[in-house]
A and B are shown apart, each in its own frame.
Chain A
């Protein structure tokens, strides 16, 4: 990755993670499924983003 022209993937990582967090918490609060069970989704998302970044950096 080069710092001068960061990829779109790493730029949207933060907001997408934030949205995911919000959705999980909202689901927790309206009783659909507890955050205590769904939190690993955040780890998975983070991992997926890291992979996508690597792939993007290689192809660039």
Chain B
């Protein structure tokens, strides 16, 4: 007689009951229970099977050669797969090695538990405030005060209250240091295992403070600070407004970096998406990879941008520059302006002193606008060049295209020469700076500017009005 286990029928009954319950009580979060507690099915199954075998042994019935057949193990495997998938999909965890290799910020599971935190400490008028290994969002505001005051809450994700309590005890909030140097410590890196803590802090500091923040993940909103700002983070959005000192930002990832009215110099490094700078009085240096929209307005000192494929130097920017993935639009620049990039359509208007543009691929549209003209040296491998000059402009032009049409609005002073290398438009309107335009493949257009010309806007996009400065919205939670 072949004995069959009682587990298979029980499993069937269990699954049937589950579906029945789901039909009868649709509001019960059964799927969540299943996602959380499916391993207990394995345990029950094992216990039943074990009990069965022990009973058989006790009544001296013949024992099976193996307690679990190959087929049953296959079923276990699929159950594990199903359970783990469910567990992951329901957002409890990324199941495979979760804390052995912490998978970035993905380790989300359990529920959030919140703990209030607060602290206050008297300090000098110009303290140095250091925020250490911080995970979460912080809003730092300068004011007429002589203390550092922190309020906020800590959010701990854990499956149960006790785990969260333990994590809370492991990560005490501290406000340490003396009157000149204060350290805001959230000790979130002391939380071990699978629990993650993040915090939302509102920090009020004296206006004269200097801020130094090291974050793991989360946003910084900093307003009305007269000292220097230094931020480094693995992943952060940074919004600054009314900063009196120098700003240094080093991010490994960011969704936005926005700085509005900074008196000192600004240095931005790393990777990110959008960058918005407005009203920076010191020199601006940006190094790194930014794949969103970059907007610069009203910079009083030189801008040095070193991107992966783009170099842009401007001596002074009373106007604005907008750089998106495929284009660059700028108006009202003080030169020397230097731009070299791989593949972009470039539109420049109102620039002075000198202009140097070098592209691999892309159309170039230039409207110097003001007289006297800037010296220009413009080169693209593939793309059209259009130059609109004021009617009375004086210049000495050499424009050549390897293959493409030439359009000349200025008439006789400029002559078209064609040879085996292509077409060249050459001539002078009585002195003036040299203008060199060169495209290897594309049209050349030299035209007279007219008042009806529409202002330059990036293709397919209307100019966006400047965003309102740092909205005072409640801090949003960090998704961990």
Contact = CB atoms under 8 A, between A and B. Distances in A.
Interface string A15-36: 1111111111110111101111
Interface in A1-59: 3, 5-8, 10-26, 28-31, 33-37
B47 A15 contact: yes
Nearest to B73: A14
Contacts of A31: 109-110, 158-160, 163, 193-195
Contact of B45 (A12, A13, A18): A18
Nearest to B167: A31
A22 B110 contact: no
B36 A19 contact: no
Contacts of B49: 14-15, 18
B413 interface: no
A35 B299 CA distance: 54
A36 B101 contact: yes
B68 interface: yes
Contact of B68 (A18, A24, A25, A36): A18
A10 B53 CA distance: 11
A30 B427 CA distance: 80
A11 B95 CA distance: 31
- Give the secondary structure class of A's interface: helix
B66 A29 contact: no
A11 B193 contact: no
Interface residues of B, number: 48
Contacts, number: 127
Q: How large is the interface on A (under 10, 10 to 19, 20 to 34, 35 or more residues)?
A: 20 to 34
Q: Which of B39, B57, B110: most chain A Cβ within 10 A?
A: B39
Given A11-B67, A15-B68, A36-B100, A22 B41 contact: yes
A31 B160 CA distance: 8
Contacts of B101: 36
A23 B133 CA distance: 35
Contact of A28 (B43, B54, B98): B98
B166 to A, nearest CB: 10
A37 B76 CA distance: 21
A30 B39 CA distance: 11
B46 A19 contact: yes
A35 B42 CA distance: 15
Contacts of B66: 6, 10-11, 13-14
Contacts of B50: 12, 15-16, 19
B471 interface: no
A24 to B, nearest CB: 8
B67 A26 contact: no
B40 A22 contact: yes
B142 interface: no
7 contacts: A3-B65, A6-B64, A14-B49, A22-B46, A25-B38, A26-B39, A31-B160
Given A11-B57, A37-B99, 14 more contacts: A3-B65, A5-B62, A6-B63, A6-B66, A14-B66, A26-B39, A29-B36, A29-B38, A29-B93, A31-B109, A31-B160, A34-B193, A36-B100, A37-B100
Interface of A: 3, 5-8, 10-26, 28-31, 33-37
